Amino acid sequence: MWGMSLTDTIICIVVALAVCGIFAGVCFVIAKKDKTKFEDLLATIPAEKQEALKAENYQPLDGAGIKCATRGLLAAIDTKGETSTVRLIFYNETRDAFYDQTTKIRTSELNGKGYKLFDMIPCQMKYDKEYHIHEFKKIM
């Protein structure tokens, strides 16, 4: 490189590759750990609930572009004071796979609507079949 000897250039390349390799390894370990947690969560969901989730359709919302209404499965609830963190499971028919989304909801709203574990709750999604976009927007 610019004014560096061949040995210095090789050392820089090796160091850069080592840093990239370590970063990739850390990302791989984190992704594998998250996937294991998701598979454990999916194993707790009854088969009939999974089948009901697969049968859910996306209904276009009038005048909302690619926003649609569907229902997600309430798979986990973690309540801390006035805020509850909920984990929703959806089914992506294009990829033939389940996926999850974590979001926050006011505990009073969660209790007021009577939502409990394994309920199918209405959600708004960004759904574009052509580009295979399945993006959670909000609980309705």
Written as one letter, the residue type at 61 is L
The Cα angle at residue 78 between residues 109 and 43, in degrees rounded to 5: 115
Task: Tell me how far the alpha carbon of residue 55 is from its chain's centroid.
Answer: 19
Task: Using a cut of 0.85, tell me whether the model's pTM lies above it.
Answer: no
Task: Identify the residue whose tokens are 């998701």.
Answer: 38
Where exactly are the structural domains of the chain?
1-43, 47-139
For the chain (140 residues), the mean pLDDT of every run of 10, in chain order, is 75 86 76 68 87 86 77 89 89 83 88 89 81 74
Q: Report pLDDT digits (tens) over 85-97.
A: 888 898 888 778 8
User: Does the 47-139 domain belong in CATH 2.40.50?
Assistant: yes
